[in-house]
A = this chain, B = another copy of it.
Amino acid sequence: MTVNLVATPADQLFAVPGVRWGITEAGVRKAARKDLAVMLLDEGSAVGAVFTQNRFCAAPVQICRQHLASGSAIRALLINTGNANAGTGQDGLARARACCQALAAQLDLAPEQVLPFSTGVIMETLPSERVIAGLPAAIAAAQAGQWAQAAQAIMTTDTVPKACSRRVQIDGRTVTITGISKGAGMIRPNMATMLGFMATDACIAPELMAGLAHELAEASFNRITVDGDTSTNDSFVVVATQKAGHEVVSSWQSPQAQALRAAMIEVARWLAQAIVRDGEGATKFITVRVEGGRDAEECRQVAYAIGHSPLVKTAFFASDPNLGRILAAVGYAGIADLDQRCIDLYLDDVQVASSGGRHPQYQEADGQRVMKQSEITVRVVLGRGTASDTVWTCDFSYDYVKINADYRS
């Protein structure tokens, strides 16, 4: 079950000049499954990326960081599903490197110009020989467009392929932004990982790319939670192929640059929210907005405490306006000097609590009405300052337990 999420029709996904996708069946874990994708970037492309903060990060994440740090011009991304190559020690690193070498050799590149990504079972040996054997077919299949197929290929237990395009005008030129993502929890049962890949043909100065990737992730993937479990493999990559022919964006000051960045944020946020809408067992999409904090960090901390609370999430599943649970989560979010007497709570437009207690006009029927919706905004006002932040999450249902308990059987 998903919450108001349908696959974007292929004719609404625009090719990004300078990007080709090649997809094939490599039999990594199961036969007859498109489980290997290469994303080939034309010369001159600039790349930025962010990765999981999990200290148990997977081998491909470690290799990606090394290759990006080397300053090499990235020309190819190599993505397999079916195996995360995480918790695999030195052998896992060697296998990830071997895959990069094999792809680089066939494309006449250095291995450092390849970024590897894996998603799937943790703590199993990556069958790198099967990945390598699949590369010629993937390369042969490479062509422009293909984003819908790529979105399909990187799915593990996602129920809907996640892809989104936007177009903006810069200097009278049409610039395309297209992205895909996968994941249905911060970590999927065994088949772990959030992955996001986004490209634009916009001309963006290479030195802006790392910061841009960080900023896009902060506005999107770093604001979602399904179960609070951070994967070993989470990766988000943004590519600018520099093909669009407008003047190079070397800062985000100009209105046009701001419009470009806003469109990129919009795509990243769509892709991130799609992960929540396809969250394991999700029946509701919840926006948690916290206002009136001293800084955005403490607002986010409170929003995540609410978004992670199993009690809050099961109440949403049950459409039960059991809203004291939200106040309790605010209280344990870790703000040491929080004054409960300053706190207000709203469910959409219904004020539930004021000054830390039940709002005098609050009627349970009003709370009940909002709780029955499939999209709900929880708004907490801390009364400490002017900062705010927002996190997106889903509810917690029988199916979450079912999916996660039964997955491997």
Q: Give the interface of A toward B (CB within 8 A).
A: 53-57, 84, 86-92, 121-125, 185, 187, 189-190, 192, 227-232, 308-311, 314-315, 317-318, 320, 322-325, 327-333, 335-336, 338-341, 343, 353, 355-358, 396-398, 400-402, 404-409
Contacts and interface: CB of A to CB of B under 8 A. Distances in A.
A325 B187 contact: yes
B190 A324 contact: yes
Contact of A398 (B90, B310, B398): B398
B89 A55 contact: no
B397 A401 contact: yes
A230 B332 contact: yes
A323 B404 contact: no
Nearest to A339: B55
7 contacts: A87-B358, A122-B327, A123-B358, A229-B332, A231-B328, A314-B400, A314-B405
Nearest to A193: B328
Contacts of A338: 55-56
A310 B56 contact: no
A117 to B, nearest CB: 17
A189 B318 CA distance: 12
A79 to B, nearest CB: 19
Contacts of A185: 311
Nearest to A55: B338
A92 B353 CA distance: 14
Contact of A189 (B92, B125, B322, B329): B322
B405 A357 contact: no
A132 to B, nearest CB: 21
B328 A54 contact: yes
Nearest to A190: B322
Given A91-B357, A401-B398, A54 B324 contact: no
Name, among A187, A310, A325, the residue most crowded by chain B CB atoms within 10 Å (CB to CB).
A310
Given A310-B229, A310-B310, A324 B355 contact: no
Contacts of A322: 189-190, 407-408
B123 A324 contact: yes
A331 B123 contact: no
A88 B328 contact: no
A311 B396 CA distance: 13
A240 B34 CA distance: 69
Nearest to A396: B401
Contacts of A328: 54, 56, 86-87, 122, 187, 192, 229-232
A325 B122 contact: yes
A222 B231 CA distance: 27
A328 to B, nearest CB: 5
A60 to B, nearest CB: 14
A249 B4 CA distance: 65
Nearest to A310: B227
A407 B190 CA distance: 31
